[in-house]
Amino acid sequence: MQLTDRKIGFIGTGKMGESLIRGILGAHSDIKIYASDVYEPALERLNSELGINVSTDNANTIGNSDIVVLAIKPQILKDILAQIREQITADKLVISIAAGVPVSAIEDELNNDARVIRVMPNIAATVAEAASAICTGTNATAEDAEVTLEIFRSLGSAIQVPEKLMDAVTGLSGSGPAYIFPIIEAMADGAVYEGLDRASAITLAAQTVLGAAKMVLETGMHPGELKDMVTSPAGTTIRGIHVLEESGVRAAFMNAVIASAERSKELGK
CB 101 within 8 A of CB 42: no
User: Distance between alpha carbon 33 and the CA centroid of its chain, in Å?
Assistant: 18
Task: Give the HSE-up count for residue 172: Cα atoms under 13 Å, Cβ half-sphere.
Answer: 8
Which backbone phi and psi does 129 adopt, to 5 degrees? -130, 30
pLDDT 10s digits, 198-231: 999 999 999 999 999 999 999 999 999 999 999 9
Cα–Cα distance between 143 and 91 in angstroms, integer?
A: 13
Cα–Cα distance between 250 and 252 in angstroms, integer?
A: 5
Rounded alpha-carbon distances, angstroms, from residue 245 to 119, 132, 205: 34, 30, 20
Q: For residues 26-43, b (16+ Cβ closer than 10 Å) or e, as one string? A: ebbeebbbbbbbeeeebb
User: Distance between alpha carbon 188 and the CA centroid of its chain, in Å?
Assistant: 25
Question: What pTM was estimated for this model as a whole?
Answer: 0.88
Angle between helices 176-193 and 198-219 (to 10 degrees): 130
Please state whether beta strands 130-136 and 115-120 pair in parallel, antiparallel, or not at all (unpaired).
antiparallel
> Is the pLDDT reported for residue 1 higher than 60?
no
Q: H helices within the chain, ranges in order?
A: 15-27, 40-50, 58-63, 74-84, 103-109, 142-153, 166-169, 176-193, 198-219, 223-230, 236-246, 249-267
CATH of 3-169, one of 3.40.50.720, 3.30.70.141, 3.40.710.10, 3.30.360.10: 3.40.50.720
Per-residue pLDDT, 28: 85
Nearest to 43 by CA among 24, 67, 27, 60: 60
Per-residue pLDDT, 2: 61
Give the confidence band of 268 by pLDDT, cuts at 50, 70, 90: confident
Query: Tell me, what amino acid is at 136?
Result: T
Superfamily of domain 176-267: ProC C-terminal domain-like (1.10.3730.10)
Residue range 99-118: mean pLDDT, rounded: 94
Per-residue pLDDT, 186: 98
> Is the pLDDT reported for residue 269 higher than 80?
no
Cα–Cα distance between 202 and 111 in angstroms, integer?
A: 50
CB 64 within 8 A of CB 40: no
Per-residue pLDDT, 29: 82
Residue range 163-189: mean pLDDT, rounded: 96
Residue range 18-46: mean pLDDT, rounded: 91
For the chain, the domains span 3-169, 176-267
Long-range contacts at 41-46 (CB < 8 A, ≥ 24 apart): 42/13, 42/18, 43/13, 46/13, 46/18, 46/21
Query: Tell me, what amino acid is at 265?
Result: K
pLDDT 10s digits, 125-134: 888 899 999 9
